Structure 1
Amino acid sequence: MLSQSQWLDAVKGRLRVRSDYALSKRWAVTPSEVSQYRRNRLRFPFAVVLDIADVMGIDPIEIIAGLEYRRCRERDRERVKRAYFKAHCAHFVYPNNPGFFHRKKRFFG
Structure 2
Amino acid sequence: MRLLLSLSLLSLIPFSGNAAEESPKPVSFYQDIRPIFQANCVGCHQPSKNNGDYVMTDFQRLLAGGEDAIAIVPGKPDESHLIEEITPDADGDAEMPKKNDPLHA
TM-score, normalised to structure 1, is: 0.32
Task: Point out the structure with the larger helix share.
Answer: 1
The higher relative CO (CA closer than 8 Å, separation ≥ 6) is in 2
Higher Cα Rg, which structure = 1
